[in-house]
């Protein structure tokens, strides 16, 4: 407990204590003989000395208490949750606590001598100046709110934050004391609270789904938005004040009643596909969900009714688009044939089956002989049509459903023949394709004669994976080209 230093010892008490200590030291004998003047003077000096020592001790104790209080006050001042400032009339900062440097993103050593107004958003200066003028003129307590450009050290961005300033003059007529409180969160919350009702009403009225507000105790409709009338054809007057299960548009009355009863114990119910009947008799499918919320001190129920007709149409459209995307991802857009990606999947599956069944498979690569002159002389449009017809003829030549052909690009195609018995099966099919492609083409009045060269590789004789089979079939194709074209070569 702190010692009370407000009532120090009186002079007589100090003298009494000093004399007692002097006697205890043995300076004065027990028998009180009449002292000589010199001894009396020495006695008086000794007493005064002890008095001074005791007074000095009291003063030292008082000083120590003051220092502790000063340290405590300084800590409270510096580390207070609010900022403290001492300002001159022109808003020059004379003193500031440590909290301020965080609020202003500036070290305290740099704050002294700076204009406090320089930290504010320019638009708030008139409010601040008016407050300062009132403080110094009327010597009364004043306050205002201003925004400070706060620098976020992590993002290196300036974010205005709102502060409340409370000011009053100090002992000096040229200075004022000011507290600086960050109310950014409170201001945002207050602004949000002020706008909440208007915003909710705006959203409620403009919502493109039906909304019903029910009394929690009775289940009667106490409010409804305009869109509900558009959705079901009943006016607001026809539905407000009625219980949910009495409304004509809800076909399943028992479900509506049970929904209300369930909401007495649950906070949320949703029906993803509920039939409702329009006033005209048309049945529509809706998503219907209800939830309980607190309005003031009472509970209420909100029901949202969303027409899912368009949503279902969009889902169907999305399904078709995904099919188209999958088709484009796996097929050549010009010929409609499988592309390299789909071919790889089929080759991998076919080779896996051949390994299990100890069977053979063939991979054939062919391209058109002298296709470039056709493009150069007749144009790329006719060249594209020719590629489409080559693809069509090649597909016609394939005999089995499991056989497939893919376009690698340009005029290069690949044929996969899974589960063959002998290499001769692949050669026979290659010859059939070659002869089919060799037949003349008539495109936009142009008769085109073109042939193809084919290279064949067989699993497992010429390779046990797609990479080697493709490589060896390509080498066989190269030999067919060098041998005069329009022929089939086996690796």
Residue 112 has pLDDT above 80, yes or no: yes
pLDDT average, residue stretch 466-471: 95
In this structure, are 475 and 350 located in the same domain? yes
Q: What is the pLDDT of residue 6?
A: 47
- Of 285-294, 346-355, 360-369, 478-487, the poorest mean pLDDT is in 285-294
CB 395 within 8 A of CB 405: yes
In this structure, are 398 and 461 located in the same domain? yes
- For residue 18, give its domain range: 11-75
In this structure, are 286 and 367 located in the same domain? no
Q: What is the pLDDT of residue 82?
A: 87
Q: Which residues of 399-420 are buried (b: 16+ CB within 10 A; e: fewer)?
A: eeeebbbbbbeebebbbbbbbb
Name the average pLDDT for the chain. 86
pLDDT-derived band at 157, boundaries 50, 70, 90:
low
- pLDDT-above-70 percentage for the chain: 92
Q: What is the pLDDT of residue 40?
A: 75
Q: What is the pLDDT of residue 20?
A: 77
In this structure, are 336 and 484 located in the same domain? yes
Asked whether residue 326 is assigned to any structural domain, the reply reads no
* Cα within 13 Å of Cα(222), Cβ side: 11
Q: For residue 366, what are the β-bridge partners?
A: 413, 454
Q: What CATH number should be reported for the domain holding residue 409? A: 3.30.70.270
In this structure, are 68 and 128 located in the same domain? no
Q: What is the pLDDT of residue 19?
A: 73
Q: What is the pLDDT of residue 377?
A: 93
Does the predicted TM-score (pTM) go above 0.75? no
pLDDT-derived band at 10, boundaries 50, 70, 90:
low
209-260 confidence digits (pLDDT tens):
889 999 998 889 999 999 988 888 888 888 888 887 777 677 788 888 888 8
Residues ≥6 apart with Cβ < 8 Å to 260: 214, 219, 243, 244, 245, 301
Q: What CATH number should be reported for the domain holding residue 289? A: 3.30.450.20
Q: What is the pLDDT of residue 154?
A: 56
Residue 108 has pLDDT above 60, yes or no: yes
Q: What is the pLDDT of residue 51?
A: 83
pLDDT-derived band at 5, boundaries 50, 70, 90:
very low
Asked whether residue 322 is assigned to any structural domain, the reply reads no
pLDDT average, residue stretch 123-137: 92
Residue 407 has pLDDT above 90, yes or no: yes
d(CA 468, CA 401): 25
Q: What is the pLDDT of residue 204?
A: 84
Residue 171 has pLDDT above 60, yes or no: yes
Alpha carbon distances (Å) from 87 to 142, 207, 244, 381, 396: 14, 52, 65, 83, 95
Q: What is the pLDDT of residue 292?
A: 92
Domain-ending residue, one of 188, 215, 231:
188
Q: What is the pLDDT of residue 106?
A: 82
d(CA 30, CA 289): 105
Q: What is the pLDDT of residue 326?
A: 81
Q: What is the pLDDT of residue 74?
A: 78
14-64 confidence digits (pLDDT tens):
777 777 776 776 655 544 545 566 677 677 778 888 888 888 888 888 888
180-200 confidence digits (pLDDT tens):
888 888 888 877 777 777 777
In this structure, are 88 and 118 located in the same domain? yes
pLDDT average, residue stretch 371-379: 93
**Rounded-to-10 torsion of CA 57, 62, 64, 66:** -170
Asked whether residue 251 is assigned to any structural domain, the reply reads yes
In this structure, are 58 and 102 located in the same domain? no
- If one counts the domains in the chain, the total is 4
pLDDT average, residue stretch 433-452: 95
In this structure, are 415 and 390 located in the same domain? yes
Asked whether residue 466 is assigned to any structural domain, the reply reads yes
Asked whether residue 193 is assigned to any structural domain, the reply reads no
Domain-ending residue, one of 34, 56, 75:
75
Domain-ending residue, one of 75, 97, 126:
75
Asked whether residue 199 is assigned to any structural domain, the reply reads no
In this structure, are 163 and 64 located in the same domain? no
pLDDT average, residue stretch 323-345: 89
Asked whether residue 381 is assigned to any structural domain, the reply reads yes
In this structure, are 300 and 238 located in the same domain? yes
Q: What is the pLDDT of residue 145?
A: 92
Q: What is the pLDDT of residue 94?
A: 92
In this structure, are 338 and 483 located in the same domain? yes
69-101 confidence digits (pLDDT tens):
888 877 777 788 888 889 999 999 999 888 888
Asked whether residue 317 is assigned to any structural domain, the reply reads no
Residues ≥6 apart with Cβ < 8 Å to 351: 361, 459, 464, 465, 466
Residue that the structure tokens 């071919």 belong to: 343
Residue 150 has pLDDT above 70, yes or no: no
Q: How many residues does the chain have?
A: 491
In this structure, are 464 and 351 located in the same domain? yes
């Amino acid at each position: 407990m702190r010692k009370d230093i407000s009532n120090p010892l009186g002079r007589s008490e100090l003298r009494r204590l000093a004399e007692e200590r002097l006697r205890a030291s043995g300076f004065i004998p027990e028998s009180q003989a009449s002292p000589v003047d010199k001894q009396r003077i020495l006695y008086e000096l000794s007493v005064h000395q002890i008095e001074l020592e005791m007074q000095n001790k009291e003063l030292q104790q008082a000083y120590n208490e003051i220092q502790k209080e000063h340290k405590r006050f300084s800590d409270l001042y510096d580390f207070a949750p609010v900022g403290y400032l001492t300002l001159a009339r022109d808003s020059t900062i004379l003193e500031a606590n440590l909290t301020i440097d965080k609020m202003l993103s500036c070290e305290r050593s740099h704050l002294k001598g700076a204009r406090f107004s320089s930290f504010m958003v320019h638009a708030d200066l008139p409010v601040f100046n008016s407050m300062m003028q009132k403080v110094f003129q009327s010597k009364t307590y004043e306050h205002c709110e201003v925004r400070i450009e706060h620098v976020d050290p992590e993002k290196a961005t300036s974010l205005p934050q709102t502060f409340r300033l409370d000011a009053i003059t100090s002992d000096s007529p040229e200075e004022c004391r000011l507290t600086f409180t960050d109310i950014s969160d409170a201001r945002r919350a207050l602004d949000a609270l002020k706008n909440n009702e208007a915003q909710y009403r705006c959203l409620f009225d403009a919502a493109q789904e039906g909304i019903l507000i029910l009394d929690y105790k009775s289940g009667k409709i106490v409010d409804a938005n305009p869109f509900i009338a558009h959705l079901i054809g009943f006016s607001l007057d026809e539905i407000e004040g009625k219980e949910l299960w009495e409304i004509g548009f809800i076909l399943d009355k028992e479900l509506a009643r049970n929904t209300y009863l369930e909401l007495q114990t649950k906070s949320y119910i949703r029906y993803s596909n509920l039939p409702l009947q329009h006033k005209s008799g048309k049945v529509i499918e809706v998503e219907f969900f209800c939830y309980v919320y607190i309005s003031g001190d009472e509970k209420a129920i909100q029901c949202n009714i969303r027409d899912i007709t368009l949503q279902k149409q969009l889902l169907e459209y999305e399904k078709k688009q995904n099919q188209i995307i999958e088709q484009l991802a796996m097929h050549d857009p010009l010929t409609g044939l499988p592309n390299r990606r789909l071919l790889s999947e089929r080759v991998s599956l076919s080779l896996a089956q051949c390994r299990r069944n100890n069977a053979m498979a063939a991979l054939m690569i062919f391209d058109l002989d002298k296709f470039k002159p056709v493009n150069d002389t007749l144009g790329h449009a006719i060249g594209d049509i020719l590629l489409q017809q080559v693809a069509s003829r090649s597909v016609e030549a394939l005999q089995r459903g499991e056989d497939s052909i893919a376009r690698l690009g340009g005029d290069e195609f690949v044929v996969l023949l899974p589960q063959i018995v002998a290499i001769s099966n692949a050669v026979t099919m290659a010859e059939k394709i070659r002869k089919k492609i060799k037949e003349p083409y008539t495109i936009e009045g142009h008769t085109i004669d073109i042939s193809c060269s084919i290279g064949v590789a067989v699993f497992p004789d010429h390779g046990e994976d797609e990479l080697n089979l493709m490589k060896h079939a390509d080498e066989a194709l190269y030999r067919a080209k060098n041998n005069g074209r329009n022929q089939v070569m086996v690796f």
